[in-house]
C-alpha cells in the first residue's frame, strides 16, 4: 500500500531516462511572469512558510522575476489551495504546500477543488520522516513492547494528534491497522498541546514530526521508538525504522510546489529546473535539516504528480478503513 518517496521516484526515473530529449544548447529558457506569487496555505513561521521564503528569494535572483510569498491559512490548507486552483494558469501563481494537502483531501469529502485535476505538479521539494514517540514515564523501550501492550490492553493506550485528519492521526491509524492493535485517538489543537499532555502522562503515544518533537527529545521527556521512514535517520542515530517491526510501514512528510491546472508545460519545466537547483544549495539543505527533512533530487513534474496520486490513494484507504471523518 505504501511507497517510499525516494524508491518510488528512482523507479520512475529509470523509466524516463530513455524519453529525455536534449534541448538545443542555444535555446533560450522560456520567459517567466514578471511577478510570481507563491501562496502558502498556512500561517507564517512554520516549515512551509520558511521554505517558501527562501525559495522565493533565490528564484527571484535566478530568473529576474519579482517573487513574493502570500500566506492564506485556514481549513487545513483548503482556503489557500482553493485560491490557487482558481488562479491564472500562466506561472504567476504557485503554491508551496505539504503532506496536509493529501491528508485534508482524504478526509474532507466536499472540497472546492479536485486535488489531482485542479493543479499542475511542479516540483517535489523535500521529504522527511515522522517519529514514533512515547512519554519518558511510560514503560515502552521498543516498538515491540508498545505493540504487545496494545494487543493485551485493547483500547487502553491513548495516542495524541494535532487534530482529526492530521498526518499524526492517519499515521497512527495506519499503525493500528498494520500491527493489528487498537490505540485510542485523542485529538488536540496542534502538535505542541498533544506533546505536552504526552509528557504529563495524559496520553502515551504520538507519531510526531521531528520539528515538533526533537526539542522535547533533547530534554529527556520524550522517547523515540522508531522513525517512519524506510531507512534510519541521522536526526535520531541508532533508532531503527518502524518497518523493521511492522513490515511495509512507511510514512514520510513531503513538501512540494504546484501551479493551477493548465499552466503551460514549458513554464512548468523551467520552474521545475530552477527549483531543483535551489533546493540543493547548502543554505536550503541547512533549512531543510532544521525541519528534519532532506531535499529531493531532480524529480520531474510528472514524477511528482504520480507521487501525489499514490499518497492520496494511501491516505484515502486509511480513512475509509478506519471510518475517519472531518469535524
The ranges assigned to domains in the chain are 5-128+253-322, 131-244
Q: Calculate what percentage of the chain has a pLDDT beyond 70.
A: 91
CA 184, CA 242: separation in Å to the nearest integer? 19
CA atoms within 13 A on the CB side of 227: 21
Write the DSSP symbol of residue 76: T
> Can you tell me the mean pLDDT for 160-171?
94
- pLDDT (average), residues 5-27: 46
The per-residue pLDDT for 52 is 96
pLDDT tens, residue by residue, 112-161: 999 999 999 999 999 999 999 999 999 999 999 999 999 999 999 999 99
pLDDT for the residue 314: 96
Band of pLDDT at residue 177, cut at 50, 70 and 90: very high
Same topology between domain 5-128+253-322 and domain 131-244: yes
The CATH number that domain 131-244 falls under is 3.40.190.10
pLDDT at 27: 60
Among 153, 159, 154, which residue's Cα sits nearest to residue 133?
A: 159
In a 3-state reduction of DSSP, which class is residue 25?
coil
Residue 243 DSSP symbol:
G
Query: How do beta strands 205-208 and 158-161 pair?
Result: parallel
What pLDDT was estimated at residue 257? 98
Mean pLDDT of the chain: 90
Higher pLDDT, 66 or 191: 66
How many Å separate Cα 301 from the centre of its chain? 17
CA dihedral of residues 141, 142, 146, 152 (deg, nearest 10)? -90
Domain 5-128+253-322 = CATH 3.40.190.150: yes
- Strand 222-227: give its sheet, edge to edge: 184-187, 158-161, 205-208, 131-135, 222-227
Amino acid at each position: 500500500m505504501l511507497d517510499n518517496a525516494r524508491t518510488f521516484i528512482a523507479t520512475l526515473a529509470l523509466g524516463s531516462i530513455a524519453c529525455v530529449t536534449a534541448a538545443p544548447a542555444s535555446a533560450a529558457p522560456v520567459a517567466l511572469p514578471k511577478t510570481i506569487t507563491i501562496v502558502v496555505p498556512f500561517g507564517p513561521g512554520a516549515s512551509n512558510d520558511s521554505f517558501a521564503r527562501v525559495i522565493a528569494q533565490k528564484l527571484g535572483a535566478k530568473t529576474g522575476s519579482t517573487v513574493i510569498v502570500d500566506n492564506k491559512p485556514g481549513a487545513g490548507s483548503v482556503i489557500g489551495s482553493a485560491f490557487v486552483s482558481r488562479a491564472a494558469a500562466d506561472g504567476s501563481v504557485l503554491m508551496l504546500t505539504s503532506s496536509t494537502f493529501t491528508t485534508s483531501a482524504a478526509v474532507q469529502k466536499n472540497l472546492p477543488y479536485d486535488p489531482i485535476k485542479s493543479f499542475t505538479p511542479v516540483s517535489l521539494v523535500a521529504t522527511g520522516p515522522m517519529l514514533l514517540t512515547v512519554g519518558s514515564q511510560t514503560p515502552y523501550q521498543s516498538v515491540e513492547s508498545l505493540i504487545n501492550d496494545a494487543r493485551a490492553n485493547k483500547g487502553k493506550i491513548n495516542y495524541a494528534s494535532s487534530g482529526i485528519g492530521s498526518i499524526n492521526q492517519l499515521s497512527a491509524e495506519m499503525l493500528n491497522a498494520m500491527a493489528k492493535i487498537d490505540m485510542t485517538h485523542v485529538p488536540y489543537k496542534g502538535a505542541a498541546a498533544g506533546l505536552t499532555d504526552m509528557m504529563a502522562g495524559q496520553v502515551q503515544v504520538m507519531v510526531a514530526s521531528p520539528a515538533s518533537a526533537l526539542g522535547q527529545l533533547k530534554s529527556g521527556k520524550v522517547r523515540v521508538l522508531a522513525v517512519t521512514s524506510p531507512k534510519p535517520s541521522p536526526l535520531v542515530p541508532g533508532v531503527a525504522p518502524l518497518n523493521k517491526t511492522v513490515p511495509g510501514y512507511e510514512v514520510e512528510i513531503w513538501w512540494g510546489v504546484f501551479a493551477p491546472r493548465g499552466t503551460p508545460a514549458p513554464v512548468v519545466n523551467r520552474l521545475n529546473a530552477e527549483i531543483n537547483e535551489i533546493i540543493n544549495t547548502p543554505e536550503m539543505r541547512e533549512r531543510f535539516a532544521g525541519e528534519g527533512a532532506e531535499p529531493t533530487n531532480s524529480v520531474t513534474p510528472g514524477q511528482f504528480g504520480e507521487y501525489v496520486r499514490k499518497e492520496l490513494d494511501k491516505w484515502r484507504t486509511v480513512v475509509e478503513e478506519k471510518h475517519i471523518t472531518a469535524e
